[in-house]
Amino acid sequence: MTFSLIKTLRGCSQLRLPVAIKASSAVISNCRVLHKSYSVTQIELPKKMATSKALPLPQIFKYVDQNAATYKQLLKEAVAIPSVSCDVKYRNDCVRMVHWMQEKLREVGASSELRDVGCQTIDGQEVKLPPVLVGTLGNDSAKNTICIYGHLDVQPALKSDGWDSDPFELVEKNGKLYGRGSTDDKGPVLGWLHAINAYKGIGEELPVNLKFVFECMEESGSEGLDALLIEKLKPEGFFNDVDYVCISDNYWLGTTKPCITYGLRGISYYFLEVECAQMDLHSGVYGGTVHEAMSDLIYLMDQLVDKDGKILITDIYKSVAPLTENEKKLYTTIDFDTEGYRQQIGAHKLAHNGNKEQILMHRWRYPSLSLHGIEGAAFQPGAKTVIPGKVIGKFSIRIVPDQQPEEVEKLVFDYVHKKWAERGSPNKMRITAQSGRAWTENPDHPHYQAAARATKLIYQTDPDMSREGGSIPVTITLQEASGRNVLLLPMGAGDDMAHSQNEKINVRNYIEGIKLFAAYMFEVGKLPK
Catalogue the active-site residues: 153, 218
Rg, the chain, Cα only: 25
Q: State which residue, 352 or 453, has the beta carbon closest to a copy of itself.
A: 352
**Residues 121 and 98: beta-carbon distance below 8 Å:** no
Query: What are the residues whose beta carbons fall under 8 Å from the beta carbon of 88, sequence distance 6 or more?
Result: 122, 127
The residues pairing with 491 across neighbouring beta strands, listed in sequence order, are none
For residues 277 and 527, which CB has a smaller minimum distance to a copy of itself in the complex? Answer: 277
Q: How far is the CB of 171 from a copy of itself (least distance, A)?
A: 17
Strand partners, 283: none
Cis peptide preceding 116, ω within 30 of 0: no
At closest approach, how far in Å is the CB of 169 from a copy of itself? 19
Residue 290 or 527 with smaller CB distance to a copy of itself:
290
How far apart are the C-alpha atoms of 480 and 466, rounded to whole Å?
21
Q: Which of 224, 270, 21, 210 is nearest to 118 (CA)?
A: 224
Beta carbon nearer to a copy of itself, 66 or 319? 319
Helix 293-302 and helix 405-423, axial crossing angle in degrees, nearest 10: 130
- Is-contact 193 187, C-beta < 8 A? no
Q: Are 160 and 379 in contact (CB under 8 A)?
A: no
Q: How far is the CB of 283 from a copy of itself (least distance, A)?
A: 4
The nearest distance, CB 267 to a copy of itself, in angstroms, is 7
| Shortest Cβ 473–a copy of itself spacing (Å) | 11
Whole-angstrom CA distances from 283 to 290, 292, 386, 418 are 10, 10, 5, 29
C-alpha of 325 from chain center: 32
**Least distance to a copy of itself, CB of residue 300, Å:** 9
The smaller minimum CB distance to a copy of itself, of residues 426 and 528, is found at 426
Strands, DSSP E only, in 37-180?
42-44, 111-115, 119-122, 125-128, 132-137, 145-151, 171-173, 176-178
Pairing outcome for strands 176-178 and 125-128: unpaired
- Cβ-based nearer residue to a copy of itself, 243 or 292: 292
